[in-house]
Structure 1
Amino acid sequence: MNTRTNLGKTLIIVNPTAQSGAAATAAQQVQRFLSMYMHDDSAFEVVHTTHPRHATQIASQATDYNTVLALGGDGLVHETACGLMAIGSEARPCLGVLPVGSGNDYARTLGMDQTMGADLSWLSHARKRAMDVGRIDYVGEAGRGTDYFVQTFSCGLDAAIAIGTYELRKSTGLSGDTLYLASGLNVFGIGYRRFPLRVKFEDEAWHELESIIMAIQIGPTYGSGFRICPDADPSDGLFDICYAHGKIPRAIALPVFLRAKNGHHLSSRYVHGRRAQSVRPLFDGEDYPLQADGEQIRARSATITMVPSALTVLAPAMSR
């Protein structure tokens, strides 16, 4: 028999602009659900974000809460997780994800689908999973910084595609894999290029790559379901890494990219995969496209390390 999940004192962080305002409506549904589920309106609080990185600030101060629910897309999940990582492990609240975004890759990794942002019945019997987190210590023109990611860090064309979705979403209203594909076709058009990259895996020698993509994954997908590392396990303490290297003409690179939707890109002789606990990439200039969970980062170099089982995350009871 499944036992009811005890959420404890709960904070709900809402991005009211997610999915063209759908998250704001979903927030009202969450409040009604929690009011009935907890029988105590004082046991939860709802806070709306108003500017970039606001969720990180809110979550970093959530030391009096047992659970923090992120209601929005991958960007909000990213910001919320970064804030929670600023809290010591002993006091760190549990993270819950209510997917109302265009990509929802982290929710997909947790075994969720889009309906679970509105149908909250799964929360009643959610299970708690210990999930890995990636740490990024980077150096850029503005100095040194630290960020985290829960799903993906990438550099090169795939990062340019993720970054390109920002304006494309505003101008076209596209979402999900259609948005990612449209941005991809733009980048593989006049924006196509290869990116020189020096990278060190673990304590190995430096590799000199002529790369188009480099994805460092905790979960299997990015870009709204592209199965870039199909076998990635978000709780095994290892990054799954996929990179495409060599003098790859656009006529070959584009089909390889499109085949990644179903994980079939791995059969290409240009595509390589491996696992590691740490990766150190050096980039050719500050304009090198970099992204973590879809959020842009500006850096010349980075040290990316695995933080095993850093977050306790709510997942549907039937997920693996």
Structure 2
Amino acid sequence: MLAVTAHDHAPPGPVAVLANPTAGRGCHRGLLPEILSRLGRAGRPVELLRARTPLEAEAACHAAVAGGAGALVAVGGDGTVHRAMQAVAGTAVPFGPVPAGTGNDFAVETGFPADPRAAVDVIAEALAAGRSRPVDLARMSGPDGTDRWYGAVLAAGFDAIVNERANRMRWPRGPRRYDLAILVELARLRPRRYRLTLDGVPQEVDAVLVAVGNAASYGGGMRICPDADPTDGLLDVVVGGRFDRRTLMRVKPRIYRGTHVTHPLVRAYRARTVELAAEGITTYADGERAYDLPVTVTAVPAALRLLR
């Protein structure tokens, strides 16, 4: 259970809001004025951040926090939350995710209502009460020596390979591009050799699916790491071994229920620090393109303060 801390002495500045109007294919675009109004009920000034690209969005969040924002709210899906999270991780500035995207795994897994109106009311109430709750984050260190944070899951197997393929494709547009990328990569499916080091203990595995979870789900409710708890100070690592195409497609639907971990080819581990290496894999964290392997992932307890 998440611990409650009242009157955390968070910075007294305005509430900065990052909103992605294209999140969830724009289905919540018209909600933004209402969300800003509901946030205003907390009695704090509300400032909407301006950004045209994901990089500008992340920079705007960093600038807002550096400029004295008293809280940061992200309106969008996991990608928007991921960008905003980089600015507040490890700071005293509390954070509120308003789930308004296609995938809202971090917000839902940390206890926010799936309905954006209900979520913003929870955030506004916490702001008014000066209340926040600590939650863990995962810190990943890339081969170039830089660090990034994520809240839900790092994908480093078949799903990451499909994402990378889809992002390189110019056609078709929309969800069909992802479906086509799945078909292409299924035809090329082969286990990869991974070097996996858990709290300093190395092993080599041949695998098709590899995920490192701070929380349980990714991809809009796929419970890839079903036992992951973002308050236990640990990472859950799920490895799906030498699946062939037919077996993988039979197991994939079970990920939504989290029952895939009972399959004999699946192994689950728990560790504070995970080192992961393989050739030719680009990872995706919270659905966002992250580092090429190798990476080191560390669980950081209470790295983020949530407005709940």
Tell me the TM-score range normalised by the shorter chain.
0.7 to 0.9
Map of 2:191 onto structure 1: 194
Q: 1:145 to 1:123 in 2, by over 3 A?
A: closer
How far is 1:20 from its partner?
2.8
Number of equivalent positions: 295
Equivalent residue letter for 1:279:
V
- Cα offset, 1:289, TM superposition: 3.3
Query: Residues 283 and 293 of structure 2 are in contact (CA less than 8 Å); yes or no, is this contact kept in structure 1?
Result: no
User: Is 1:312 the equivalent of 2:305?
Assistant: yes
Report SS of the residue matched to 2:227: coil
Q: 1:78 to 1:165 in 2, by over 3 A?
A: farther
Alignment of 1:73-92 (within 5 A): 73-85=77-89, 89=91, 92=92
Matches within 5 A, 1:274-289: 274-285=269-280, 288-289=281-282
The structural deviation recorded for 1:17 is 1.8
Q: Which runs of 5+ in 2 are unaligned?
A: 1-5
**Partner of 1:52 in structure 2?**
54
From 202, 208, 225, the equivalent of 2:204 is 208
Which amino acid is 1:151 matched to?
A
Post-superposition offset of 1:238 = 0.2
Please show how residues 61-76 of structure 1 align to structure 2 within 5 Å. Answer: 61=63, 62-63=65-66, 64-76=68-80
Q: TM-score, normalised by structure 2?
A: 0.85
Q: Which moved more, 1:271-280 or 1:293-302?
A: 293-302
8 Å contact kept, 2:154–2:211: yes
Match of 1:77, SS?
A: helix
Q: Could you give the per-residue CA deviations for residues 123-164 of structure 1, whole angstroms, max 9, x where no partner exists?
A: 34346221111111111xxx4322111111120102224446
Q: Aligned AA for 1:189?
A: L
| Contact 2:214–2:299 under 8 Å retained in 1 | no
RMSD of equivalent CA atoms: 2.9
Residue 12 of structure 1 is aligned with which of 7, 13, 17? Answer: 17
Q: Measure, in 2, the Cα distance between the counterparts of 1:117 and 1:171.
A: 33
What amino acid maps onto 2:216 in structure 1? Answer: P
The answer on 1:231 being equivalent to 2:227 is yes
For residues 30 and 167 of structure 2, the distance between their equivalents in structure 1, rounded to whole angstroms, comes to: 22
Counterpart in the other structure of 1:318: none
Q: Which residue identity lines up with residue 97 of structure 1 in the other structure? A: P
Q: Find 2:289's aligned residue among 287, 296, 306.
A: 296
Task: Give me the whole-angstrom Cα distance separating, in 2, the residues matched to 1:19 and 1:80.
Answer: 17
The residue aligned with 1:157 is 158
Alpha-carbon distance in structure 2 between the residues aligned to 1:103 and 1:95: 18
AA at the equivalent of 1:224: G
